[in-house]
Structure 1
Amino acid sequence: MKIPELCLVALVGISGSGKSTFARRHFQPTQVLSSDAFRAMVADDENDQSASSDAFAALHFVAGKRLRAGRLTVVDATNVQAHARKALVDVARDHDVLPVAIVLDVLEEECWARTEARPDRDFARPVLTRQSRDLRRSLKQLKNEGFRHVLVLRGTAAVDAATIEYEKLYNDKRELTGPFDIIGDVHGCLDELVELLGRLGYAVGEDDAVHPEGRTAVFVGDLVDRGPAAPGVLRLVMGMVAAGHALCVAGNHEAKLLRKLRGANVRVAHGLQETLDQLAVSDVDPVPFLDSLIGHYVLDGGRLVVAHAGLKEAYHGRASGRVRAFALYGDTTGETDEYGLPVRYPWATEYRGKAMVVYGHTPVPAAEWVNNTICVDTGCVFGGSLTALRYPERELVSVPARQVYYEPVRPLAPPAPADSGLNLVDVTGRRTLGTPAGRVTVAAENAAAALEVMSRFAVDPRWLVWLPPTMAPATTSRQEGFLEHPVEALGDYAKADVPLVVCQEKHMGSRAVLVVCRSPSAALKRFGITGPGAIYTRTGRPFFPDDAELLDRVRVAAEGIFDELGSDWLVLDAEVLPWSAKAAPLIREQYASVAAAAGAALPAAVSVLSRAAGRGVAVEGLLSRFAARAADVTAYADVYRRYCWPTDGLHGVRLAAFHVLASEGANHARRDHDWHLALADRLVEADPSLFTPTRRLVVDPSSTDGVTAATEWWLDLTASGGEGMVVKPAADAGPSVQPAIKCRGREYLRIIYGPSYTERLDQLRARNLGRKRGLALREHGLGLAALDLLAGGAAPWRVHQLVFAVLACESEPVDPRL
């Protein structure tokens, strides 16, 4: 017996016919929904017939959930009554899967013998007789009830000998991975089709076209009507499909032509007469080919869906009348416009599926991406162009129409507007997202906190393509007088078997993300917004009230990088200096106020204690402690003052770039750090008054010489006023290794833990780093996933989900000093 891989199987048979045994033999336990089990769930007794109504309501609900998720479902119940089967057919239709009936037609006497042998069955023989009578009636009407497959096993021997094989649905071509050339509505434009195939690299004949590299053409339907050479187009496409060089889905014009050729009474309009006249004088018989066309294909492991009018995610890989209708005609509102044509619902603007959907049907002036969907019908027959999408390259190839073959009833309209931001449902509530580091769960309360920040303070969400992850500190040091030290920082990577690390100067400024576009048109094309780009903080807020001048200087400095990477936009990770450029209010209110208060009080206290000591009062210990604290406060003030200098607008602002994160078609975040820093050096060379260099040292973290060299370098760096260093694997070390570890200088940590923190080192060494390290890995993974999607041209909402999750993770209860 052959059944579809995805279907709803109804086992039909009287009590004792062996349905449960059959189900255990042929299906997984999780695939089988037993009416007895559901009675037990709702009534604690699988024989309580009074609970049947509630039990079947629960069973149908669970069946619907399984079918919605695309899982084979088997219903183990007698199902001998029409109303019981109707409920199952309705569930199957609700989820657009095929209902299958497997009938176990076993003699009543044998079933009664089995029933009498079971102590848990206490109903009388007339019940079985009634079921048997219902089964006899059912055998005649199962097909008419909507079951697409009816498989009858007559007798115990047939039941025992049966085997089950699974068949793919006709639309399931996931094993075909391409590459593909997906061609829009041809409408009888043979010359343009031949030209387009030639431009795509095919060797074109009269009845076949072959690509030397084995590419496959995929036609989105509407091969016929309106244009001058429908038979020639049919001959060529039919030959390509027969030879295995092409696939083709049905268009609404093919469906109508087939009905007409079979004698149905259809309205001859919209170019159908032209096709009928052309076929009348040709030797092309398209009926077998047209009859073989299906509504849509699922290709490349489910990553690509091709349908004539598009297909929403719930219908991918499903089979039903409404799925085919959607694929042929789209989603209409039931209204007509001023041209008498149906008003179509813009399903693409709400599409949230992972699969790329390529379609035609509604002609547009130019193919444009909307939420990972694209319409490639560019109105060739109306004087537009014939367009193909090269997959997986996402490259569009078009040839212009030779002439206007058919005047459109309605002027070509632009595609639906691209998604310009987030939908609330995409980012609220508890959700789990996939990343290279594994699944990351975002708590609902953290999402709410992120939404507050994003909705009130963030830049336009179309610029928000990445947020910097938090960074874990090194293992707490046991070196005398230090809380963080290179010995432990490098030791962390040595334990992870990282062969080389980059010790990189840690600039004391404010982390910033720069999205830089080469031109306003490039920004509009890639991000759906005009402007030079954006510069924003690690919480997504605008960095400066007016950043156009700064972004323009960055654009000029990056001119050579644009060319080298073949991109009209870049995403940079950088530090904005000085710290005071962004943190001036924080410095005044939190740091300077402490220094001022302590600077006034402590010297006065030291003076009083000194005079008391001069009179012979025993205050030496107290005096020593207050004098040390006064020195600590002076050192504390010196630290934060090093990172402050006057700026006037953008004058005096410096940028320390250290990552070129992404460009057109590429996520560079996994590249070696020497590549990133070499590009950063080129920015410094191009504009040394704006960009500042990042000093670094490459060492082996497991060698004594490497640790010694890094320690001496770090001590010199921090002694001259540097904040410290960031240690990173020189090359990508995988998702389980920290992407960066910060090792901050002894003096710098005064502004983190307080002026006199060195008096409490033993207490501070008990700090717990586990949550911070876990958070750093999760946020880094989310960022990598966002950049992967950005480089792959994914719909903006998918990138935003991940970026939003990074900000939501920042609400985790982690010690901010870490």
Structure 2
Amino acid sequence: MTTEPTRRTLAVTDLSLVVLIGSTGSGKSTFARRHFKPTEVISSDFCRGLVADDENDQSASGDAFDVLHYIAGKRLAAGRLTVVDATNVQAESRRQLVRLAREHDVLPIAIVLDVPEAVCADRNAGRADRAGLPRRVIQRHQRELRRSLRHLEREGFRKVHHLRGVAEIEGAEISLERRFNDLRHLTGPFDIIGDIHGCRAELDALLAKLGYVDGAHPEGRTAVFVGDLVDRGPDSPGVLRRVMDMVAAGTALCVPGNHENKLGRWLAGRKVRIAHGLAETVEQLEREGERDPEFRDRVRTFVDGLVSHYVLDGGALVVSHAGLPEKYHGRTSGRVRAHALYGDTTGETDEFGLPVRYPWAEDYRGRAAVVYGHTPTPTASWLNNTICLDTGCVFGGRLTALRWPERELVDVPAERVWYEPVKPLRPEAPGGADGRPLDLADVAGRRGVETRHLGRIAVKEESAAAALEVMSRFAVDPRLLAYLPPTMAPCATSREEGYLEHPTEAFAAYRADGVRQVVCEEKHMGSRAVALVCRDAAAARERFGVSTEVTGALYTRTGRPFFDDPAVTERLLARVRDAITAAGLWQELDTDWLLLDAELLPWSLKSAGLLRRQYAAVGAASGAVFPGALAALEATAARGVAGVGGDDGLLARQRERAIDAAAFTEAYRRYCWPVDGLEGVRLAPFQLLAARGRPLATVGHDTQLGWLDRLVEQDASGLLRRTGRLYVDTEDEASVAAGVRWWLELTEAGGEGMVVKPLEGFVRRPDGGLVQPGVKCRGREYLRIIYGPEYTRPDNLERLRVRHLGHKRSLALREYALGLEALDRLADGEPLWRVHEAVFAVLALESEPVDPRL
């Protein structure tokens, strides 16, 4: 007669250490295979085989369990569910596993497979590797199991699932449960509200300012309270009622503060010290109880149910009362809860008798933004991707909220000082916009940078080392280095006679990518320049943390300053700033700083050394050699020497070379003219990259060029130059032909060429891949500078057409994605080290080997 399986569901937390407990032959391995992934299960037998080549070699058990604990620790550190398949019937073996779970702040869960001794013996007898196992081993396991059953919860197991008999084991099902703090599926938008401390009127005013009506937001936003709802203020019951109603209605979330924790213990009848404002709350609750006898029980239930912290928005946001280091995010333990409620203290007290808190936020480098309260500060400001919203409302400060994902701060003033602070409000974080300096560990070694548009981008260790050399020795102040422009891929190699690059290839490539509307922008004869322009020195200090009276920066593609004299840079920035002001862009974009992508002219301003050593040397040599050589050949040809005269003779070939050399000299001279200070210098902006709270690089180029045209029109100094452009429909032959004609006119007049870009600011291919943000199409004569005076000769041109563009195109897209990531982080108000991580990666990729002529 077969016993029907008994159906039973076992709840297992999705991040936990599951410990299977049972004697040999109880079916633990079979149970593990049935209910868990193979990678989630760590078997003592398997580990024994790893170290001894024999899974039954009991003499290797010590080393095997060392391996098992090591692997389990690595998995738990990585946030992965881990199942230990071993007998675990001895208290000491379980004690080590519980300790391991506590070290990694996860729940230890026991699943006991309680199978009769006879069944275990029969199963072992049926296994060739266990057939000779003495019966006394099973009997010992059974005795140890019996002794263990009463003590598992006391040992530290948070859940104990006791399966009795074969039928119950076979009928069991595992149900993975989310941790209470895991709300990553909730993506907001959120309004995170700082410490209220009984200030009901201020809470109502702030909710109204945020747009809430009767506790709900018409746009479906969710309020998130960081705790410390009670104590010190005039109406803690009113605050509790409002927050509890919103949480019950699903329009709010709330984490506990240390004041709720203390109130909860008092409500439970435990002995607590009535201090730090609790006396006011107790008195107010007693009065409220006279009107609503059930209110106190409702508050107790609410406080008891609060979860220490929440992980929200796909893991991008963590809300905790006192803040939380990254290693605790999403973890579950008493240590995590204690830090979430109280923070971490050094064990010292300050001059006011208050505990000195460990400044965890100064060392924070996590990806998730951590929003917290607990420590009152005069103003809320970002520090290493963390922000404290306790702005001392009850002490006469302000009640502050953070709108997420906008990262916008909204606040209301306190009606009055409701409670005199023991300690004056002052910032806890060190000075500067970022809160901590950049660290070598932020950029050194092999690393991967997560981007929103291209996933994880790898940076080789040797590339990082090369970038570090440039950055540490030659770059501008890294606090001002908010962006580096990507390299730009050339258009596909042309088969047009006499041309290496031709715009028909660029139009065809975009048409193949599904891009119909493109803009052709004049390529100026200068050097790529990034200009950071702040409205004044105060704006530069506030966002970029510079301590000197600088108002921005002007630097090259590798982060080097264009001018050795900072005063010259400041004069140039002042002219750009005046144009921005006159154009009304500060107000229109609601910003006090702008980041621009531009060309700085002339080219010789940056590349004088290169011109002297490389290009001018070639021109001078040809000018010195060819006249004499041609005169001698002409005299020789006049004497009738064979092979010298005629259309194919040596004289004709040397005349062609002289013409090519002269064209080469003429080509590079177009990019050179004398300058004196700013006299003769021109700046041609072609894109706004970012403003306060807003990345702009993905805004359509028609809008971009409209902004910049206004900027140039309002420039009274003559510094700014307009970027010529032509819009082309890649599916219209006449429009494409017009684009080709425009390019020919530009280049035949001595221009460098043009850049073809999708009219939209950011485009993906139908298959989801990124479309090149722009391809350069350089003129025939400009390429003579790049490839040499004689590159247009048919045999040379044919060899040059074998260009390997794949790596260059890949590099361009990776640097583009990193640049966008840097701009997004900058506009989001993320700390400097996070911005700099992406910026530095662009510079590191520049050291990858690629043909520099492309």
| Bin for the TM-score computed over the shorter chain | over 0.9
- Displacement of 1:55: 1.9
- Displacement of 1:498: 2.3
Q: Which stretch of the first structure deviates more once superposed, 434-443 or 74-83? A: 434-443
Candidates 160, 179, 199, aligned match of 1:189: 199
Q: Aligned ranges for residues 327-346 of structure 1 at < 5 Å? A: 327-346=340-359
Q: Matched residue of 2:310: which SS?
A: strand
Cross-structure match for 1:784: 820
Residue 276 of structure 1 pairs with residue 282 of structure 2? yes
Give the 3 Å change call, closer, same or farther, for CA 497–168 of structure 1 in structure 2: closer
Cross-structure match for 1:419: 435
Cross-structure match for 1:253: 259
- Displacement of 1:135: 0.9
Cross-structure match for 1:677: 705
* CA distance in 2 between partners of 1:216 and 1:454 (Å): 43
* CA distance in 2 between partners of 1:710 and 1:299 (Å): 49
Residue 746 of structure 1 pairs with residue 780 of structure 2? yes
- Displacement of 1:256: 2.2
Give the 3 Å change call, closer, same or farther, for CA 149–817 of structure 1 in structure 2: same
Cross-structure match for 2:571: 549
Residue 708 of structure 1 pairs with residue 732 of structure 2? no
Give the 3 Å change call, closer, same or farther, for CA 365–577 of structure 1 in structure 2: same
- Displacement of 1:737: 2.2
* CA distance in 2 between partners of 1:176 and 1:306 (Å): 13
Candidates 523, 537, 562, aligned match of 1:520: 537
- Displacement of 1:397: 2.4
Q: Aligned ranges for residues 119-134 of structure 1 at < 5 Å? A: 119-121=128-130, 122-134=132-144
* CA distance in 1 between partners of 2:725 and 2:842 (Å): 28
Give the 3 Å change call, closer, same or farther, for CA 701–187 of structure 1 in structure 2: closer
Residue 223 of structure 1 pairs with residue 247 of structure 2? no
- Displacement of 1:123: 2.4
Mapped contact 1:419–1:797 kept (Cα < 8 A): no
- Displacement of 1:257: 2.8
Root-mean-square deviation over aligned CA pairs: 2.0
Q: Aligned ranges for residues 439-588 of structure 1 at < 5 Å? A: 439-529=456-546, 531-544=550-563, 545-546=565-566, 547-559=569-581, 560-588=584-612
Q: Any stretches of 5+ residues in structure 2 without a counterpart?
A: 1-9, 290-294
* CA distance in 2 between partners of 1:384 and 1:181 (Å): 19
Residue 737 of structure 1 pairs with residue 759 of structure 2? no
Cross-structure match for 1:389: 402
Equivalent pairs, count = 814
- Displacement of 1:512: 0.4
Cross-structure match for 2:331: 318
* CA distance in 1 between partners of 2:313 and 2:80 (Å): 20
* CA distance in 1 between partners of 2:204 and 2:543 (Å): 31
- Displacement of 1:151: 0.5
Q: Matched residue of 2:815: which SS?
A: helix
Q: Matched residue of 1:322: which SS?
A: helix
Cross-structure match for 2:175: 165
* CA distance in 1 between partners of 2:84 and 2:695 (Å): 47
- Displacement of 1:789: 2.2
* CA distance in 2 between partners of 1:172 and 1:796 (Å): 28
Cross-structure match for 1:802: 838
* CA distance in 2 between partners of 1:794 and 1:779 (Å): 20
Mapped contact 2:382–2:830 kept (Cα < 8 A): no
TM, length-normalised to structure 2: 0.92
Q: 1:422 is matched by which residue type in structure 2?
A: L
* CA distance in 1 between partners of 2:454 and 2:41 (Å): 35
Cross-structure match for 2:449: 433
* CA distance in 2 between partners of 1:439 and 1:401 (Å): 45
Q: Aligned ranges for residues 283-294 of structure 1 at < 5 Å? A: 283=289, 284-285=295-296, 286-294=299-307
- Displacement of 1:172: 2.3
* CA distance in 1 between partners of 2:231 and 2:526 (Å): 65
* CA distance in 2 between partners of 1:13 and 1:678 (Å): 74
Cross-structure match for 2:752: 723
Deviations 1:460-518 (CA, angstroms, capped at 9, x unpaired): 22222221111111222222222222233323223333213222211110000111122
Mapped contact 2:521–2:755 kept (Cα < 8 A): yes
* CA distance in 1 between partners of 2:515 and 2:315 (Å): 37
* CA distance in 1 between partners of 2:219 and 2:775 (Å): 47
Mapped contact 1:17–1:106 kept (Cα < 8 A): yes
Q: Aligned ranges for residues 54-203 of structure 1 at < 5 Å? A: 54-121=63-130, 122-203=132-213
Residue 403 of structure 1 pairs with residue 419 of structure 2? no
Q: Matched residue of 1:591: which SS?
A: helix
Cross-structure match for 1:46: 55
* CA distance in 1 between partners of 2:719 and 2:483 (Å): 23
Mapped contact 1:783–1:803 kept (Cα < 8 A): yes
* CA distance in 2 between partners of 1:770 and 1:694 (Å): 29
- Displacement of 1:156: 0.1
* CA distance in 1 between partners of 2:602 and 2:450 (Å): 36
- Displacement of 1:302: 2.4
Q: 1:222 is matched by which residue type in structure 2?
A: D
- Displacement of 1:281: 4.0
* CA distance in 2 between partners of 1:164 and 1:567 (Å): 54
Mapped contact 1:381–1:405 kept (Cα < 8 A): yes
Q: 1:427 is matched by which residue type in structure 2?
A: V
Deviations 1:658-695 (CA, angstroms, capped at 9, x unpaired): 11122233322223222222222222212272222222
Q: Aligned ranges for residues 601-612 of structure 1 at < 5 Å? A: 601-612=625-636
Q: Matched residue of 2:478: which SS?
A: coil
Residue 638 of structure 1 pairs with residue 666 of structure 2? yes
Q: Aligned ranges for residues 616-631 of structure 1 at < 5 Å? A: 616-618=640-642, 619-620=644-645, 621-631=649-659
Q: 1:268 is matched by which residue type in structure 2?
A: I
Give the 3 Å change call, closer, same or farther, for CA 390–784 of structure 1 in structure 2: closer
* CA distance in 1 between partners of 2:275 and 2:331 (Å): 31
Mapped contact 1:421–1:461 kept (Cα < 8 A): no
Cross-structure match for 2:7: none
Mapped contact 1:368–1:415 kept (Cα < 8 A): no
Mapped contact 1:633–1:755 kept (Cα < 8 A): yes
Give the 3 Å change call, closer, same or farther, for CA 502–367 of structure 1 in structure 2: same
Mapped contact 1:367–1:415 kept (Cα < 8 A): no
- Displacement of 1:203: 4.3
Mapped contact 1:574–1:658 kept (Cα < 8 A): yes
Q: Which stretch of the first structure deviates more once superposed, 534-543 or 413-422? A: 413-422
Mapped contact 2:591–2:692 kept (Cα < 8 A): yes
Q: 1:453 is matched by which residue type in structure 2?
A: V
Q: 1:74 is matched by which residue type in structure 2?
A: V
Give the 3 Å change call, closer, same or farther, for CA 212–504 of structure 1 in structure 2: closer
* CA distance in 1 between partners of 2:147 and 2:682 (Å): 85
Q: 2:140 is matched by which residue type in structure 1?
A: R
Q: 1:88 is matched by which residue type in structure 2?
A: L
Deviations 1:6-30 (CA, angstroms, capped at 9, x unpaired): 1110011111111111111111111
Mapped contact 1:420–1:528 kept (Cα < 8 A): no
* CA distance in 1 between partners of 2:558 and 2:712 (Å): 26
* CA distance in 2 between partners of 1:486 and 1:50 (Å): 75
Give the 3 Å change call, closer, same or farther, for CA 398–728 of structure 1 in structure 2: closer
- Displacement of 1:233: 2.9
Cross-structure match for 2:4: none
Give the 3 Å change call, closer, same or farther, for CA 716–400 of structure 1 in structure 2: closer
- Displacement of 1:775: 0.9
Candidates 749, 769, 779, aligned match of 2:805: 769
* CA distance in 2 between partners of 1:228 and 1:491 (Å): 70
Candidates 1, 13, 37, aligned match of 1:4: 13
Q: Matched residue of 1:713: which SS?
A: helix
Mapped contact 1:186–1:223 kept (Cα < 8 A): yes
Q: 1:699 is matched by which residue type in structure 2?
A: V
